[in-house]
Chains A and B, each alone.
Chain A
Amino acid sequence: MLKKCRKAALLLLLATAPLSLAADRERVKEVASSLMCICGCNQVLGVCNHINCPTSGGMMTEVEKEIDSGKSDKAVLDHFVGKFGLSVLSAPPASGFNLTAWLMPFAALLAGAIAAVYFLRRFRARWVETAPTTPVDTAKYQRQIEEELQKYTPED
């Protein structure tokens, strides 16, 4: 029984090993897209492949090594921040002062939407005020529309 269990565990391990390797490759890519190459090319580490780049190769190896050592993505990113400073992250963290980077565009959109709705309502209010007060015989126009539609709509 124990032997069977061991065998099953081994098979499971073998079956999941390539999966975990594939997942790790995805993780390396993911982490590399959260980091900037520090060679001055102004490109994300994952895409910096310019010839003779003095840093991207080394940085990629370091990402792989850190992930292989069992660290979480965040821990790997923290490791790079500790080494090169905040500017190594390809986007600012959503905390503290940097939160404004993330919030401001949406705050501006919200403010714009509020302003647009306010102006629309004001325009409408003004229009309602100035709209003619005599009741309109809509039925008359409706009849006219129906007649004209019948006359001019080609037969399908």
Chain B
Amino acid sequence: MAQLGQFALALAFVVTMYSIVASIIGIRAKHDKLIASGRNAAVGTFACLTTAFLCLVYLFVVSDFSINYVAGHSNRDLPLYFKISAIWGGQEGSLLLWGWFLTGYAALVMIQNWRKHTAMMPYVTAVLMGSSLFFTSMHLFIANPFNQVVTMGPGGARVPLVPADGQGLNPLLQYILNAIHPPVMYLGLVGFAVPFAFAMAAMLSRQLGDTWIRTTRRWTMVAWFFLGTAILLGGKWAYVELGWGGFWGWDPVENASLMPWLIGTAFLHSVMVQEKKGMLKVWNMVLIIMTYTMCLFGTFLTRSGVVSSVHAFAQSSIGGYFAAFIVISLSGSLYLLLDRLPLLKSENQMESIVSRESSFMFNNLILLASCFAVFWGVMFPVFSEWIKGVKITVGPPFFNRVNVPIAIFLMFLTGVGPLLAWRKASTNSLKRNFLWPAAVALAAGIGLFIRGIGRPILKAPEELGQALFQKLVGYSFTSSFYALLAIMMSIFVAVTIVREFYKGARARSHGTGENFIEAVANLTLQNTRRYGGYIVHFGFVLLFIGWAGQAFTTDVATEAGIGDTLSIRQYTLRVDKLGVEDTPNYQSMKASISLFEDGVKVATMGPERRRYKAGEQQTTTEVSIWSTLKEDVYVVFSGATADGKRANIQVYYNPLVMWVWLGGIVLGIGTLIALLPNKKSSPRKRQQTADQTEEQKDVAEKVS
């Protein structure tokens, strides 16, 4: 089976080369058959990589430890689902998964669009296969998952070896959400290759209208959806598996996935201006180039070991190859953009600073600034070491201090932007749209402030420097005050969204006689893009509130024996039992803890500490979480005394965490709705609309 996989990889490499060459020569010679052959070859590459991937699945399922990659990332006692997820537990397999997805996307794009965009598609083939060539050569020459385990025999000869058992999968990856997190992440990162390829194809074929944007709108949203979902899954994994009580730690690997998502979000908004107004054409090109580059850069960061991270499970020496690929891809696309600049003229002009077009520009600015802040924070230690030779750390305090104000302003724009009119918003419409949301947010803010949230406002430094700047940066808002601002902004945005639904549904139910719920559903389904977008924004509101709750996290740690209790806020925890469990995969120490809320028992919790038997016998902690809408009680079994009679228990009180996951779900639902085609209005409604149009014509005639 390994030979078949090896052969499939080699064939994929050759077929990819052929696809690129056939497409380019076909375009130049205007040879339709050659172009079609290039397309078929692209689909063929997918078939080859599918074969290779299935071979690897088989090798993992049967635990063929003669294969180096299988022996390094699996073991006999691993449950079947983790044997399969172990395929992407290391470098070679995750790269193969990436390459496979890329060719899968390419094949789907070919099938979907070949007849619709005949002039552009050969270029799309060439660009997608160009990316694919990089990955197939990596699979074949640099990170081949089918290499055998060898040892040095007599005379220095390399002799095949079959170990009795494998090294096992990193225990931190033995968590179901993390088993699906990497594929979802790759579906997102790879997905941006499609709009990128169409953008390049538009420039190469000089078809610079909005065809490429309309064609790839759904692709972009799908990629964005997967990337966002993967980030949240990663957060959930960190929360449940790493045991430090939080879901986002500004780790370089987390940042690596956030950067393309931030620019991708900017792109997703900015393309609307091009679609509606024919503006920002150059800007959209810049954004998609940056998004794709950031997708590659993120992968480079994760795998190169340039920065250290708690999540980097697949580090190796392939960073250099990725860096070269990024440089080639970025310089090629920027050269093309400069060359086609005269063809990318705007069709319309901006009329007012207070308009939806300009709000999109500011949205882009804020998202880019946020991305830059993250990039700068991630790379600054590297710059510092290069320039000054000094090792420094840029950790969570930096990212929080820089990004939190930016995020709060972004939330403000989320509320304002969608309600501004295209071209120019009048003062009256501003008042009409924003007076109530602002009043409600302010009232809520004052109410919370009176209850103590947001106080103290400022945090003074212990020692102030003499320079004015040091005085300025010395003071900072407290996290509690930032949380108050974040909650106020969230309420502001929520009210604007609810009002939009209410106004639309009320007008609709007056016009059609539908009841309110029907009117909301039909309103949404007949303009999925707009109302799906609002739902996505609402998801963000929930997420933002959940995130603001982190400012009020508290924790206690204690050594406790059976019968001992500890308290945190309104909760009391009592240790009932301490025990040991033995499974084929791991041994664990467990505590059984009763959780009381205001004296009433609400749950039995069972935090564990595990020692995995395979490989290096790693130990992990399995936290136990009691989750409500208001707060999470998060219990960690962090160790035990030598006699096993007392356990070290750490308890976190984390407010509003569930809102983050709920926000993620709402965000996903909103995206799926926005992906749906608009439902056609009912015949009755159509007739009404037609009648109205006739009447409008009459009025227009009378007036003129």
Q: Report the minimal beta-carbon distance from A46 to chain B, rounded to whole angstroms.
A: 9
Give CA–CA (A61, B440) in the complex, Å.
Answer: 47
Which of A9-17, A62-70, A122-130 lies at the binding interface?
A: A122-130
Chain A contacts for B703, CB-based, 8 A: 140, 143-144, 147
Q: Is the CB of B244 within 8 A of A91?
A: no
Known: A50-B621, A51-B621. A120 touches B353 (CB 8 A): yes
Number of interface residues of B (CB under 8 A): 68
Instruction: Verify if B331 is at the interface (C-beta below 8 Å from A).
Output: no
Known: A94-B473, A97-B384, A101-B380. A51 touches B365 (CB 8 A): no
Which A-chain residue is minimally distant from B351 (CB atoms)? A127
Q: Is the CB of A49 within 8 A of B394?
A: no
Instruction: Verify if A74 is at the interface (C-beta below 8 Å from B).
Output: yes
Q: Is the CB of A49 within 8 A of B369?
A: no
Q: Report the minimal beta-carbon distance from B394 to chain A, rounded to whole angstroms.
A: 6
Instruction: Verify if B429 is at the interface (C-beta below 8 Å from A).
Output: no
Chain B contacts for A92, CB-based, 8 A: 380, 384, 392-394, 398
A10-56 with Cβ < 8 A to chain B: 33-34, 36, 40-44, 47-52
Q: Is the CB of A43 within 8 A of B244?
A: yes
Known: A94-B470, A97-B384, A144-B699. A36 touches B376 (CB 8 A): no
B328-371 with Cβ < 8 A to chain A: 346, 349-353, 358, 361-362, 365-366, 368-369
**B696 partner, pick from A44, A87, A108, A148, beta carbons under 8 A:** A148
Interface flags for B396-409 (1: CB within 8 Å of A; 0: not) read 11100110001000
Chain A contacts for B627, CB-based, 8 A: none
Q: Is the CB of B462 within 8 A of A72?
A: yes
A47, A48, A89, A116 pick with most chain B CB within 10 angstroms: A47
Which A-chain residue is minimally distant from B692 (CB atoms)? A152
Give CA–CA (A78, B381) in the complex, Å.
Answer: 19
Known: A86-B392, A92-B393. A105 touches B373 (CB 8 A): yes
Q: Is the CB of A154 within 8 A of B398?
A: no
Q: Is the CB of A42 within 8 A of B510?
A: no
Q: Is the CB of A72 within 8 A of B470?
A: no
**A116 partner, pick from B308, B365, B390, B406, beta carbons under 8 A:** B365
Give CA–CA (A9, B351) in the complex, Å.
Answer: 71
Chain B contacts for A113, CB-based, 8 A: 365
Which A-chain residue is minimally distant from B375 (CB atoms)? A105
Q: Report the minimal beta-carbon distance from A116 to chain B, rounded to whole angstroms.
A: 5
Known: A74-B463, A147-B699. A108 touches B392 (CB 8 A): no
Instruction: Verify if A3 is at the interface (C-beta below 8 Å from B).
Output: no
Instruction: Verify if B650 is at the interface (C-beta below 8 Å from A).
Output: yes
Q: Is the CB of A51 within 8 A of B388?
A: no
Give CA–CA (A156, B696) in the complex, Å.
Answer: 22
Instruction: Verify if B700 is at the interface (C-beta below 8 Å from A).
Output: yes
Which B-chain residue is minimally distant from A144 (CB atoms)? B703
Chain A contacts for B619, CB-based, 8 A: 51-52
Chain A contacts for B264, CB-based, 8 A: none
Chain B contacts for A148, CB-based, 8 A: 696, 699
Known: A112-B368, A124-B349. A51 touches B639 (CB 8 A): yes
Q: Is the CB of B395 within 8 A of A91?
A: yes
Chain B contacts for A4, CB-based, 8 A: none
Q: Is the CB of B349 within 8 A of A90?
A: no
Chain B contacts for A86, CB-based, 8 A: 390-393
Query: Chain A: interface residue count, which band?
Result: 35 or more
Known: A102-B402, A120-B358, A124-B349. A49 touches B638 (CB 8 A): yes
Q: Is the CB of A36 within 8 A of B352?
A: no
Give CA–CA (A120, B393) in the complex, Å.
Answer: 39
Chain A contacts for B373, CB-based, 8 A: 105, 108
Give CA–CA (A51, B612) in the complex, Å.
Answer: 13
B474-514 with Cβ < 8 A to chain A: 507, 510-511
Instruction: Verify if A109 is at the interface (C-beta below 8 Å from B).
Output: yes
Q: Is the CB of A49 within 8 A of B699?
A: no
Chain A contacts for B387, CB-based, 8 A: 97
Interface flags for B86-117 (1: CB within 8 Å of A; 0: not) read 00000000000000000000000000000000
Q: Report the minimal beta-carbon distance from B657 to chain A, rounded to whole angstroms.
A: 15
Q: Is the CB of A36 within 8 A of B394?
A: no
Instruction: Verify if B278 is at the interface (C-beta below 8 Å from A).
Output: no
Q: Is the CB of A48 within 8 A of B244?
A: yes
Instruction: Verify if A151 is at the interface (C-beta below 8 Å from B).
Output: yes
Give CA–CA (A124, B351) in the complex, Å.
Answer: 5
A78-113 with Cβ < 8 A to chain B: 85-92, 94-95, 97-99, 101-102, 104-106, 108-109, 112-113
Q: Is the CB of B365 within 8 A of A109?
A: yes
Q: Is the CB of B376 within 8 A of A51?
A: no
**A120 partner, pick from B361, B391, B465, B469, beta carbons under 8 A:** B361
Which B-chain residue is minimally distant from A113 (CB atoms)? B365
Which B-chain residue is minimally distant from A96 (CB atoms)? B388
Known: A90-B396, A144-B699. A104 touches B249 (CB 8 A): no
**B349 partner, pick from A41, A48, A123, beta carbons under 8 A:** A123
Which A-chain residue is minimally distant from B555 (CB atoms)? A29
Give CA–CA (A133, B149) in the complex, Å.
Answer: 80
Q: Report the minimal beta-carbon distance from A111 to chain B, rounded to whole angstroms.
A: 9
Instruction: Verify if B372 is at the interface (C-beta below 8 Å from A).
Output: yes
**B243 partner, pick from A34, A50, A97, A99, beta carbons under 8 A:** A50
Q: Is the CB of B362 within 8 A of A116?
A: yes
Instruction: Verify if B641 is at the interface (C-beta below 8 Å from A).
Output: no
Q: Is the CB of B369 within 8 A of A112?
A: yes
Q: Report the minimal beta-carbon distance from A94 to chain B, rounded to whole angstroms.
A: 5
B365, B401, B692 pick with most chain A CB within 10 angstroms: B365
Q: Is the CB of A47 within 8 A of B308?
A: no
B246, B384, B619 pick with most chain A CB within 10 angstroms: B384
Q: Report the minimal beta-carbon distance from A76 to chain B, rounded to whole angstroms.
A: 10
Chain A contacts for B699, CB-based, 8 A: 144, 147-148, 151
Q: Report the minimal beta-carbon distance from B406 to chain A, rounded to whole angstroms.
A: 7
Q: Report the minimal beta-carbon distance from B522 to chain A, rounded to whole angstroms.
A: 17
B349, B380, B397 pick with most chain A CB within 10 angstroms: B349
**A95 partner, pick from B308, B358, B401, B470, beta carbons under 8 A:** B470
Q: Is the CB of B251 within 8 A of A42?
A: yes
Chain A contacts for B393, CB-based, 8 A: 36, 86-92
Which B-chain residue is minimally distant from A60 (CB atoms)? B557
Give CA–CA (A50, B172) in the complex, Å.
Answer: 12
Q: Report the minimal beta-carbon distance from B530 to chain A, rounded to whole angstroms.
A: 20
Instruction: Verify if B194 is at the interface (C-beta below 8 Å from A).
Output: no
Known: A51-B638, A97-B387. A42 touches B308 (CB 8 A): yes
Give CA–CA (A123, B424) in the complex, Å.
Answer: 13
Q: Is the CB of B462 within 8 A of A74?
A: yes
Chain B contacts for A87, CB-based, 8 A: 381, 391-393
Q: Is the CB of B510 within 8 A of A154?
A: yes
Q: Report the minimal beta-carbon distance from B226 to chain A, rounded to whole angstroms.
A: 26
**B396 partner, pick from A44, A123, A154, beta carbons under 8 A:** A44
Chain B contacts for A151, CB-based, 8 A: 695, 699
Q: Report the minimal beta-carbon distance from B63 to chain A, rounded to whole angstroms.
A: 28
Give CA–CA (A33, B398) in the complex, Å.
Answer: 11
Chain B contacts for A140, CB-based, 8 A: 703
Chain A contacts to B: CB under 8 angstroms: 33-34, 36, 40-44, 47-52, 72-74, 85-92, 94-95, 97-99, 101-102, 104-106, 108-109, 112-113, 116-117, 119-120, 123-124, 126-127, 130, 140, 143-144, 147-148, 151-152, 154
Question: Can you report 13 residue pairs joining A to B where beta carbons are below 8 Å apart?
Answer: A36-B395, A41-B310, A42-B251, A43-B244, A43-B310, A51-B638, A90-B393, A90-B398, A95-B470, A105-B376, A109-B406, A123-B350, A130-B349
8 more CB-based (< 8 A) A-B contacts, given A91-B398, A92-B384: A91-B393, A101-B377, A101-B398, A104-B376, A109-B372, A116-B365, A119-B350, A124-B353
Closest 9 CB pairs of A and B: A123-B350, A127-B349, A105-B373, A90-B395, A154-B510, A109-B369, A91-B398, A91-B397, A47-B244
